[in-house]
Structure 1
C-alpha cells in the first residue's frame, strides 16, 4: 500500500478490518496496515472480526500530509477521538499520499457492508472533486466534508471556516509587534524593518483566504508594513518551508505566519535559527510543537475537531444534516488567535486590548475581512 494506510483505531472490540489494497472492509478478514516508524515503513497484518455494538462506525479519510502534521489532520483526529470517548463509536482511518487516491478510499468505506459505515469523513478541500463524483453513486451513505461545500448533495454535510477572520487577528498581532521593540523567549523584533511574512502550502483559494485575512490585519495595524508572501507548493515539505522562511527572515521579517500544514515545521526551524517569531495554524502549535514554543508567538486555531465531533454527534443522534453547510467563524469560536503557551504572557496588554477590539469589530460587521487576494 506504500504510504497509503488504513490505521486501526483503538476502538470497541469487533470493528471490522480492511482487506488488503483492493477490497473494502470485510467480515472476519485480515487488515493490512502500513505504518511509518523511524523513517521506515512497516507492514503488519492483524486478524479482525465483523460486527460491532458501537454507537456508530465512522470512516476517516485524511488530507494530504497525513497524521502527525501537528496541525490540520491531527485536529481532525482529536475530534474523532473525542467522539469515540463520549459516544462509544468506532472508526477506521485512511491516509492518502496523493489526491488521486481520494476516490478509492471514499468508495471503499462507502462500499463496505461489514461494518456499514454510518459516516465517511472527508477531511480537506482537496477531496471535494472526488466526493462530488462518489457521493451521488452512494445515495444511502452519509458523508461529511471539511473546508468546502457540496450543499446540492443531500448525503453530504459540509463544514467551512472563516479562516480570513482568524488570520486577520494574526495579521493585526504581527503588525502591531513588528512596529515596536519586542523580545520574548528566544526571539525579538527589529522595529526599523516593519516587515512580516506569510508562507502558504498549496496555492489554492482556501489558502488565499488565510493570506487575504493576514494581509488585511497587518495593514489594519500599519499601512506601511511590508508583507512578504510565498507558497511552497506542498503541505508536507518542511525543508522547503525552512528555505522560504529563512529567505524572509534574511530580508528583515520579524514574524512569519504559515498556513502550510507540516511544511510549517520548517518555518519554526528557521525562526529558531534566526531568533525571530513564527505563528502556527489550525492547532495551538506552541503545544503540539513544544520544541519551538520559545519562538511561536501565537497560532490561528481552526477547530476542525469541532466539525468532526459535531458531524459524528449528529449521526449518533439520528440528525444528520446532509445538504447543508455550516460555517464557523470568530463568533462561533470556530477560529481564534491563540497566544503561544510560553510567549503569550509576554505580549503587551495594550496589544491584546487592540486585538480584542478588532475581534469585536469583525463579529459586529464593522470590519469586513477580505477572502481573496488582489
Structure 2
C-alpha cells in the first residue's frame, strides 16, 4: 500500500459534534484554512444501508472503533438519509471537515462527487472514499479493492461444494463495481468445474431502488435461484444479502457472504450454519490505515489498493465445515497462489 505525503495537517475547531449533525443540511464557502482548525480525528459517512448491514458499512465502523481506541481522539459516524442527493452528501462531508474531523471518509462509490467537492473546499483536510478510483486530488485517498480476486476464490469454493452443478450470484445493483464480484465468481466456478451453471441476477438498476438495502429483494432472488437447483448462492448486495442468507438457510443450501466474515456476525447467528464462507475485503483496515497515516503526519493519497497479495481481500474460513473440507481448501489455496503469482488473471467484468 503506498502512502504519499501531502501538505501539513490543519488544526482543530471549537464547535461540538452535535453541530455536525445539525449542520448536515448547511453549506460552506470556506477554503478550510479558517474554520477547520482542529483535529477531532476520523469521521465516516455511511453508504446506503448504514451501520448494521452486517457487511460493508459495519466493516468501516470496525476501522473507526480501532482508530478511536488507539489514538484516543473524537470520532463521528453519520448515517445516510433516504433519497439524498449528491449535494446532501457534500454538505455532510463539509460539515464534518468544518468541525475539525480529519480524515473524513465517504463509505461507497456514491460519495465521489461529494468527496471531490468537499476536498476542494478543505484542502488541509484529508478525505477518503471507499470503492472509487476517479478522484485526483492531493488530499484524497481512493481506497479500492480487487474484489474480483476474492470472488474468484468464492467461485472455486462454490464449484467444489455444489452437488447440483448449479450455483447462483445475487448482485445488489447493476453497476461496474458489483460486476467485479459477479465476473470473478463466475470465472472461479468455470475454471474449477466447467460444467457448473452460474445463475446471475442484479436486484435493481440503481441504489435508490433499494438494491443494497432490501433483504426481501435478496430473499426473493435467492429463492428463485434455489428453485432452479442452485445449492450455493453468493451475494454481493449489502444489507440485501441478509435475505439471500436467510433463504439459503431455510432451503438447506449454502450461502457465501461478502465484505465482512458474515459467519461471525451476531445478527446472522441463527443462519450461520448455512454460510459456507465469505469473500472479504478489509474495509476496516483501509479506514484505520488512513486515520493512522494522518496521525503519523504522512497522509495516504491517490489510489490505495487492497488485493490478495496485500492480504486485504480473501476468503473467510470461520465455518468449521469449510475449514475442514480438504478438497475445497486445496483448490482455494492453489488458486490464490496462482492469482498472486500472476498465472491467473481475474476478470473484472
Same fold (TM over 0.5): yes
Partner of 2:322: 344
TM-score (norm 1): 0.80
- Counterpart Cα distance in 2 of 1:108 and 1:271: 38
Are 2:46 and 1:62 aligned?
yes
Say which SS state the counterpart of residue 316 (structure 2) adopts.
strand
After TM superposition, give the deviation of residue 95 of structure 1 in Å.
1.1
Aligned length: 319
Q: Is the 8 A contact 2:46 2:77 kept in 1?
A: yes
- Counterpart Cα distance in 2 of 1:241 and 1:151: 31
Cα gap change, 1:97 to 1:361, in 2 (>3 Å): same
Q: Is the 8 A contact 2:148 2:183 kept in 1?
A: yes
Residues 299-310 of structure 1 correspond to what in structure 2 (within 5 A)?
A: 299-310=278-289
After TM superposition, give the deviation of residue 141 of structure 1 in Å.
2.6
- Counterpart Cα distance in 1 of 2:25 and 2:284: 25
Q: Is the 8 A contact 1:196 1:225 kept in 2?
A: yes
Alignment match of 1:152 (pick from 136, 156, 159): 136
Are 2:200 and 1:229 aligned?
yes
After TM superposition, give the deviation of residue 25 of structure 1 in Å.
11
Alignment match of 2:313 (pick from 311, 335, 345): 335
More strand by proportion, 1 or 2? 1
- Counterpart Cα distance in 1 of 2:77 and 2:348: 32
Are 2:340 and 1:356 aligned?
no
- Counterpart Cα distance in 1 of 2:297 and 2:70: 16
- Deviation string 1:305-362 (CA, Å, 9 cap, x unpaired) is 011000000111111123x111110010110111243432442x13211210110000
Task: Return the index of the structure with the highest Cα Rg.
Answer: 1
Say which SS state the counterpart of residue 148 (structure 1) adopts.
coil
- Deviation string 1:13-34 (CA, Å, 9 cap, x unpaired) is x9822338653699xxxxxxxx
After TM superposition, give the deviation of residue 235 of structure 1 in Å.
0.7
Cα gap change, 1:158 to 1:99, in 2 (>3 Å): farther
More helix by proportion, 1 or 2? 2
Partner of 1:248: 225
Q: Which runs of 5+ in 1 are unaligned?
A: 1-13, 27-53, 179-190
Partner of 2:154: 170
After TM superposition, where is structure 1 displaced by more than 4 Å over at least 4 residues in a row? 111-114
After TM superposition, give the deviation of residue 252 of structure 1 in Å.
0.4
Cα gap change, 1:55 to 1:110, in 2 (>3 Å): closer
After TM superposition, give the deviation of residue 172 of structure 1 in Å.
0.6
Partner of 1:318: 297
Partner of 1:197: 168
- Counterpart Cα distance in 2 of 1:202 and 1:90: 34
Partner of 1:30: none
- Deviation string 1:207-240 (CA, Å, 9 cap, x unpaired) is 0000000000000111111000011121111111
- Deviation string 1:93-130 (CA, Å, 9 cap, x unpaired) is 21113463454344344346873122111111111133
Cα gap change, 1:58 to 1:226, in 2 (>3 Å): same
Partner of 1:215: 186
Partner of 2:17: 17
Partner of 2:109: 125
Say which SS state the counterpart of residue 309 (structure 1) adopts.
helix
Partner of 2:10: none
- Counterpart Cα distance in 2 of 1:213 and 1:332: 18
Q: Which runs of 5+ in 2 are unaligned?
A: 1-13, 27-37, 205-210
- Counterpart Cα distance in 2 of 1:132 and 1:109: 10
Say which structure, 1 or 2, has more relative contact order (CA 8 Å, 6+ apart).
Answer: 2
Are 2:75 and 1:91 aligned?
yes
